[in-house]
C-alpha cells in the first residue's frame, strides 16, 4: 500500500531525527562536563545565573523563530540544566 510506505518513510525520518537529538544531547553533556571540570579547577561556582538568563532568552527567541512551543522548549532546557547543575556539583565534590 502507498499509505503504509509513506507512513513508514515518515516514521524512519522521525527515528533519525530522534537519534540526532540524542547524539546532540550526548555531545552537550560531554561539553558541559568539561565546563564542570574547568570550573572545579579554577574554583568557579557551579552555575552562572547570568549565563542561564542569557541562554533562556536566546532559546525563547529561537523557539519563536522556529515556531515551536516556547513553554515546551523552556521546560526541556530546565530539565537539561538541572541535570548539568547536578553533574557540576558532583564534579566539584569529587576528587
DSSP for 6-39, written as a single string: HHHHHHHHHHHHHHHHHHHHHHHHHHHHHHHHHH
Angle at 26 (CA atoms; ends 51, 93), nearest 5 degrees: 60
The range of the structural domain enclosing residue 19 comes to 2-93
Closest CA to 91 of 25, 26, 28, 47: 47
pLDDT average, residue stretch 86-92: 93
The model's pLDDT over 34-73, given as tens digits with 9 standing for 90+, comes to 999 999 999 998 888 999 999 999 999 999 999 999 999 9
Q: CATH number of the domain at 61, please.
A: 1.20.59.10
How many domains are there within the chain? Answer: 1
Which residue, chain included where needed, has cell 536566546? 58
The pLDDT confidence band at residue 2, using thresholds 50, 70 and 90, is: low
Amino acid at each position: 500500500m502507498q499509505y503504509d510506505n509513506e507512513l513508514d518513510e515518515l516514521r524512519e525520518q522521525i527515528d533519525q531525527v530522534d537519534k540526532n537529538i540524542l547524539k546532540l544531547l550526548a555531545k552537550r553533556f560531554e561539553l558541559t562536563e568539561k565546563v564542570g571540570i574547568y570550573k572545579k579547577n579554577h574554583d568557579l561556582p557551579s552555575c552562572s545565573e547570568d549565563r542561564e538568563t542569557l541562554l533562556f532568552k536566546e532559546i525563547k527567541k529561537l523557539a519563536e523563530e522556529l515556531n515551536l512551543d516556547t513553554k515546551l522548549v523552556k521546560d526541556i532546557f530546565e530539565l537539561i540544566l538541572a541535570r548539568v547543575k547536578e553533574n557540576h556539583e558532583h564534579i566539584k565534590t569529587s576528587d
